[in-house]
Chains A and B, each alone.
Chain A
């Protein structure tokens, strides 16, 4: 895939700066981080890199959309917009001038190409109404700032799990299609039984113990996040 020369307003923290030749099959999660604060951008970038992610950090919702290729004002012929790497996760500040994180979330969820990408919102304000609004709009999670290493690790862990499970589901589906086709050829019309699923969602994540703060232990498969607990316990 051809790559452009990289633009000044965004930075991919890989040394090969925009000319990354890896595909999305690699283990590393590629995160698009959006925050208008330079200090926060630097911190979130480091938090993500230390959690073994590739990071592209931009300073506004608009830039984020441009990166994804969703900016209406820029015509995109290729499906990949700026030919950036495939984005596995978007993490965005809520309060930003111009386009808020909420508005960015909506735009991403409205797009057929990108709605599957999990979006996490960060905010210094712990307002239940705001959290609910974001979750209802499809946000994956909501982190209260300042962001800690445990917050990032939790999110990356279940993003990785979901990605892996997604691939396994794809593989299982493809295998079922293959088996069904074979059965059709053999004249067997019993298509209801599918082969035993090979999904084993045992995403073993071992958080490095020494740097965990006294937060809840990570359990990616149960999505043990404060917001989920919050959602379950809040009255309807």
Chain B
């Protein structure tokens, strides 16, 4: 495939992620922080997020499995996950965390378990999306091209 075609595909793919709510404007903020001196910035931050989220999701799974559920601890973990997902623009993960915290507030274990599944699912989905995104970027860079960024208000 020609460079121009891959670049086009990346732009369209990125736009679709916004349309489907996977990403929000904060992701564009991250892209603005990437340049020739820091060409992998977005990739690095996103990678950090997934390392972080994996740990948090494991802790949450364990915490909800306890005979006496510590809702304060769970809330703290979800708050963290909400924060970091928000920082990278992973909107659906963030929203799932907000719902999770609501069930935490009322100490509803069933609700929390459902939400945990939801959050895991959203993390899994957006991770796949990012992988596709980065793969396209890699192809572009390998062909010597520059990664196009999309404008606000497209």
B contact residues, range: 20 to 34
B63 at the A interface (CB under 8 A): no
B30 part of interface (Cβ distance < 8 Å): yes
CB of A211 within 8 A of CB of B32, answer yes
Q: Report the minimal beta-carbon distance from B121 to chain A, rounded to whole angstroms.
A: 20
Number of residue pairs A-B, CB distance < 8 angstroms = 56
Closest B residue to A44 by beta carbon equals B87
Per-position 1/0 for B32-74, Cβ under 8 A of A: 1100001001001100110010000000000000000000000
State the majority secondary structure of interface residues on B: helix
For residue A24, CB closer than 8 A to chain B, the reply is no
Enumerate chain B residues within 8 angstroms of A37, measured Cβ to Cβ.
Answer: 52, 80, 83-84, 87
Residue contact A146 to B152, C-beta cutoff 8 Å = no
| Chain B: CB-nearest residue to A95 | B79
Given A39-B48, A46-B41, A214-B152, the answer on whether A146 and B86 have CB atoms closer than 8 Å is yes
Residues from chain B with a CB closer than 8 A to the CB of A95 are: 79
B38 & A46 in contact (Cβ 8 Å cutoff): yes
B52 pairs with A145, CB closer than 8 A: no
Q: Out of B25, B29, B84, which one reaches A40, CB within 8 Å?
A: B84
What residues of chain A lie closer than 8 Å to B41, measured between beta carbons?
Answer: 46
**Number of residues from A at the complex interface, CB < 8 A:** 20
A37-48 CB contact bits vs B (8 Å, 1 = yes)?
111101100110
Given that A39-B45, A47-B33, A213-B152 are known contacts, is A146 also in contact with B87, CB under 8 Å in the complex? Answer: yes
Kindly list chain B residues whose C-beta atoms are within 8 Å of the C-beta of A199: none
Since A37-B52, A42-B45, A47-B33 are in contact, a sample of 15 more A-B pairs with Cβ atoms closer than 8 Å, ordered by chain A residue number, is A37-B84, A38-B48, A39-B48, A39-B87, A40-B84, A50-B33, A97-B76, A124-B82, A145-B87, A146-B87, A148-B26, A149-B29, A149-B33, A213-B29, A213-B152
Show 27 residue pairs from A and B whose CB-CB distance is below 8 angstroms, ordered by the A residue.
Answer: A37-B52, A37-B84, A37-B87, A38-B48, A38-B52, A39-B83, A39-B84, A39-B88, A40-B83, A42-B45, A42-B48, A43-B45, A46-B33, A46-B41, A47-B33, A95-B79, A124-B79, A124-B83, A145-B86, A145-B87, A146-B86, A146-B87, A148-B26, A149-B29, A149-B32, A213-B29, A213-B152
